[in-house]
Structure 1
Amino acid sequence: MTQNHLLIIDALNLIRRVHAVQLNQSNDPVAQISATRETIKHAVRKLLSITAPTHVVAVFDAEQTGWRHDIYPEYKANRKPMPESLQQALSLIQDDLWELNVDSLLTEQDEADDLIATLAIKMSAQQQHVTIISTDKGYCQLLTPYIQIRDYFNKRWLDQAFIDDKFGVQPQQLADYWALVGISGSHLAGVAGIGPKTATQLLTQHINLDAIYASEELKPKLREKLDTHKEMAYITQQLAQLKIDIPLGFNLKDLRYQP
């Protein structure tokens, strides 16, 4: 079997962080966008050189809200909106990426997280390698021997050792972990009163959220917290779980990288 390597760039994760740095460098929106574009081109060239992919794609979020907002309208309600100047420049940045032979992927209402997860799992199932470029720890639930995640800004791999140190659970338990502790950046509360240490202990003793709720060995105070916030726990779990079955409508050959 031919060994392919797909480089997936979480585009807005990269772009918004690069742009945030430029806001501190200049008060001129035009200069900010110009510097953002140049920095992104430099970063992508570097990533292409280091990872040497056979295929590459930059995945963007849809402009419309998706299924997570339908389930929980407060999802990501605490996030700052994208600056208008950057929003208007996205098509230019996509053109810049195209000039580097990097295609952009976005759909009408799918989050980049789910598109990336679907792509990565499809490749992994064929024993093909994937490198995801993102600071988003949510992708850690996808880890397999064929999927790796690189935090470009902190220059680190979000690998099993990182998960062990940060969360103390297995990749497949991360959605259950976040169901307990919540995800502040997504405005998901989880179970109030349960912190990382307790969540890790619970998931060491019980395989998943269902098993925790089914347990008859929990202390009364802990049981009360879990029962009080059960609905929010399961909403958080559902929204934290990445979808891996998004219809893509294209083939891997469409993402072939031609240096």
Structure 2
Amino acid sequence: MISTLLIIDAMNLIRRIYAIQEKQHANINKALEITTATACNALQKLIHLHKPTHVICVFDSHAKSWRHQLYAQYKQGRKPIPEALKAHLENIQDSFFELGVESLVTETDEADDLISTLSTKMSLNGQKSIIVSTDKGFYQLLNQHTLLYDYFQNSYTDAGRVLNEMSLPVQKLTDFWAMTGISSSAIKGVEGVGGKGALLLLHEYGSLQGILESPNNEKDKRALKVKNNQQVALLSKQLVTLKTDIPLGFNLQDLRYTSSR
């Protein structure tokens, strides 16, 4: 029997819900109360829609990660989680637990890497996973076993949709982002290349490594920029590439969904 793991990027879901409630309610406690209820309702809707055999909600620890150690500017300028919401997360996790869903959070890893590890383990075993998030960084994980679902747009993204949208297979996305950077995470990439230039380079040379190993061509200014900024490009690729081998300390059976507690 093929199992389906529903992996919810919890902070991606909750922060968007809270942002709406914070604008609508001057009373922070009221906003938090409605956020919890709305998040629980969303969780139930997701389970009803996808009918998973297993479910997990993955939370960020909000501690600095290995990426900060490599690149101090990582996510610099990103709006931090509101303190009131941060203090309330344990209550939301308790509410999810009452609905039969475990929450996963560690002090050493980012939620994205935990989600990546979970979905990759499922895929390697021929099992399905559905990642609930609006984060395009998860595009790199998509394959015949893994889908991305946007709860707010009620839309699915698979590897074929990414190919149509970005004109690149998912396997080349980290090379693309290594050159373009990701502004939301303050990852700069190679200055002067841009999205169109990175796309042209990958179509011509096949990969970032192919660009770096190619003979110098003075006429190809973009390729020269990448070669002259090799360390920047390789660091950016390391930063945008999700880990797939984090020790989890539990197995799939621990995440089986059994309706409610």
Q: 2:137 touches 2:240 (CA, 8 Å); kept in 1?
A: yes
> CA–CA distance in 2 between the matches of 1:210 and 1:43?
42
Structure 2 residue runs without a partner (length 5+)? none
The count of corresponding residues between Structure 1 and Structure 2 is 258
Which aligned pairs between 1:56-75 and structure 2 lie closer than 5 A?
A: 56-75=55-74
Q: 2:76 touches 2:186 (CA, 8 Å); kept in 1?
A: yes
Which amino acid in the other structure matches residue 248 of structure 1? L
> CA–CA distance in 1 between the matches of 2:165 and 2:12?
20
Partner of 2:168 in structure 1?
A: 169
Partner of 2:238 in structure 1?
A: 238
Tell me the CA shift for residue 153 of structure 1.
Answer: 1.4
Are 1:250 and 2:253 an aligned pair?
no
> CA–CA distance in 2 between the matches of 1:217 and 1:153?
47
Partner of 2:225 in structure 1?
A: 225
Partner of 2:53 in structure 1?
A: 54
Mean Cα displacement is larger for which, 64-73 or 150-159?
Answer: 150-159
Tell me the CA shift for residue 38 of structure 1.
Answer: 1.2
Which amino acid in the other structure matches residue 222 of structure 1? R
> CA–CA distance in 2 between the matches of 1:243 and 1:38?
32
> CA–CA distance in 1 between the matches of 2:157 and 2:216?
34
Which amino acid in the other structure matches residue 192 of structure 1? E
For residues 44-76 of structure 1, the C-alpha deviation after alignment (integer angstroms, 9 at most, x for no partner) is: 110000000000000111232111111001100
Off by >6 Å, runs of 4+ in structure 1:
none
> CA–CA distance in 2 between the matches of 1:224 and 1:148?
36
TM-score norm. by structure 2 comes to 0.95
Which aligned pairs between 1:1-259 and structure 2 lie closer than 5 A?
A: 2-216=1-215, 218=217, 219-259=219-259
Q: Give me the identity figure in percent.
A: 45
> CA–CA distance in 2 between the matches of 1:187 and 1:87?
23
> CA–CA distance in 2 between the matches of 1:202 and 1:212?
7
* Aligned residues: CA RMSD: 1.3
For residues 5-26 of structure 1, the C-alpha deviation after alignment (integer angstroms, 9 at most, x for no partner) is: 1000001111111111112212
